[in-house]
Amino acid sequence: MEKLKYALFTGCTAKQSTPEQMMSTMAVAKKLNIELVELTEASCCGASHLQDYDDFLSLVLNARNIAYAEKHSLTMVTICNTCQLNTAMTKHRLDNDAELKAKVNEKLGEVGLEYKGTSLVTHFLYAIIDDFGLDKIKEMVVTPLSQFNIAPFYGCHNIRPSELQNESHKTKENPYNPTSLDDLIIACGGKNVDYEEKNKCCGFHVELQAPHTAAHLTGNAIAGAMDDNADWMVTPCPLCHLKLDTQTGHASEAIGREVSLPVLHMQQMLGLALGCSSDELGLNHHLSKVDFV
């Protein structure tokens, strides 16, 4: 197989509150012999909040990020669901509206850039499944996670709106019964936990504005996984990870019940199965202790 190569859009959390996500992404890429060219010029995607304030500016900034991936002639991979949503949404709108694309390009032209629409934008999870393949992952697993019940937590912005999301990858994901992360768990030798909250919202985006709602949703998600006997949870989204890992105190208070589980990034789970060390995967950066390794 030809070596896979992508332009990596890290997003902001990988550089700040989830350093372990950056570490595990690079560790896994190395194991899988995937080359990631980091887009060091990229800006924040606006996280769907800048979009509440200034829609056009958010389009220009996201188009600029994609333009850098286009310069490398590479598919852009994201490692955050919300980056994925906002970048893919920008791409969708510009690719389907010549007038809007021209307006955005008029601005990008001021800094010598152009958005062409030639690069695909996909989440690392789907790049692995679509391009690398789960069968090959299975062959490469050296430490099967066979003793664990693992609860997949998908994160809204990878599965909804499904029409947009399913443009970004070959794996056809059903937003009401997503399977990609379950399939990855199984490929890693683990047992996937089927629970009601796996495709629900973690509340991250209103943590400041509506803390009670946010904490309640986080609590429901962890409680759902616990009630179905999960040993730990796994997510492709660092924002979900922050909620599930660092906000267990508020979550427990909100739902009136102590909830806490180790929560791994999708890359960390894959890394464990591929034989990466816990140091390489940054497992010591979690608040909810990862005590099973």
Partner 1 sequence: MSTHTITTQKVNFKVFRFNAEEDYLPYYEDYTMEVTSEEVVLDILNRIKWDYDGSFSYRRSCRHGICGACAIKVNGRATLACKESMTTMIEYFGNELTLEPLDTKRAIKDMIIDKGDFWAKHDAIHPYLISDVDEHPEHEHLVTPEEAEELNEADLCIQCGACHYACPVVELNDDFFGPAAFAKAYRFESDVRDDAHITRLNELHEEKQGLWDCVKCFECAEVCPKEVNPIDKITKLHQMLFKEGVATSNVATRHAVGFKHSIAKHGLLDEGQLVLYSEGPSIVKHIPVAFKMFTKGKIVMPWNMPKSDNLDEIQKLIKSSSTAKF
Residues that bind partner 1 (CB under 8 A): 12-13, 15-19, 40-44, 46-57, 60-61, 64, 107-108, 110-111, 113, 156-157, 160-162, 174-177, 196, 200-201, 203, 205-206, 208-210, 212-214, 216-217, 246-247, 249-250, 284-287
Q: Looking at the chain, which runs of residues are DSSP E strands?
A: 5-9, 35-38, 76-78, 121-123, 149-152, 191-192, 232-235, 263-265
Is the Cα dihedral 228, 229, 233, 234 positive or negative?
A: negative
Return the number of the residue (57 or 293) whose C-beta is nearest partner 1: 57
Least Å distance between CB 280 and partner 1?
15
Contact 285, 19 (CB under 8 A): yes
Return the number of the residue (136 or 257) whose C-beta is nearest partner 1: 257
Distance between the two ends of the chain, CA-based, in angstroms?
Answer: 32
Return the number of the residue (186 or 255) whose C-beta is nearest partner 1: 255
Return the number of the residue (32 or 50) whose C-beta is nearest partner 1: 50
Q: Cα angle vertex 290, ends 123, 235, to 5°?
A: 20
Return the number of the residue (31 or 286) whose C-beta is nearest partner 1: 286
Least Å distance between CB 201 and partner 1?
4
Largest CA distance in the chain: 56
Least Å distance between CB 62 and partner 1?
11
Distances (CA, A) of 16 to 10, 248, 279: 11, 20, 18
Distance CA 25, CA 270 (A): 10
Distance CA 287, CA 263 (A): 9
Least Å distance between CB 44 and partner 1?
4
Least Å distance between CB 260 and partner 1?
13
Distance CA 212, CA 88 (A): 30
Return the number of the residue (15 or 136) whose C-beta is nearest partner 1: 15
**Look-up of token digits 């998908």:** 154
Least Å distance between CB 287 and partner 1?
6
